[in-house]
Amino acid sequence: MKLGCRVVLVLGLAALVLILASSLESSTVPKKSKPSSLAYQDNPYQYLYGNVVRAQVFRHGGQLFTNVEVKPVQTYPMFSQFVTFCDNQEDKLDFTTSEPVVLVYSRIMHRQDCYELLRVDVVQKARQVGSSGY
């Protein structure tokens, strides 16, 4: 065999090895890697914006629950939504104001029958602009 044929043959084999090696790296075999930090893909909280009509504390199976009736803002006037929270949550709810509130609670049930109420924020109406425009 001539020297030129050998060079072409060696270069061809080297190219074939490189092609096969690169295709083996991208195989579908799962790679084990440790995540550097836990990142949520979805918001873990649920929000309910409306006026609290009533809250009823009751005991079931030795545990306290608070059932809250909310009239969501900008919905049909006869529509009410009921949410059951764990424990007695009446101290977080203010019935003296007519302002709507935002109830922030966990999206996943804390226990089997109730959600964990995290916070209640009062939404105040925007101040009207005076006659001077300021």
Sequence spans of domains, the chain:
45-122
CB 104 within 8 A of CB 92: no
Query: Hey, what amino acid is at 41?
Result: Q
Nearest partner of 72 among 64, 61, 63, 81, judged by Cα: 81
In this prediction, residue 123 carries a pLDDT of 87
CATH no. of 45-122: 2.40.50
In this prediction, residue 101 carries a pLDDT of 92
Give the N- to C-terminal CA distance of the chain in Å, as an integer: 95
In this prediction, residue 126 carries a pLDDT of 63
CB 122 within 8 A of CB 62: no
Return the percent helix, strand and coil in the chain, to nearest 5: 20, 35, 45
In this prediction, residue 116 carries a pLDDT of 93
Nearest partner of 124 among 88, 99, 89, judged by Cα: 99
CB 113 within 8 A of CB 85: no
Nearest partner of 103 among 63, 65, 126, 69, judged by Cα: 69
Per-residue pLDDT tens digits of the chain, which is 134 residues long:
566 777 778 777 777 777 777 666 555 666 666 666 666 678 889 999 999 999 999 999 889 999 999 999 988 888 999 999 999 998 888 777 788 999 999 988 877 789 999 999 988 876 655 555 55
In this prediction, residue 24 carries a pLDDT of 62
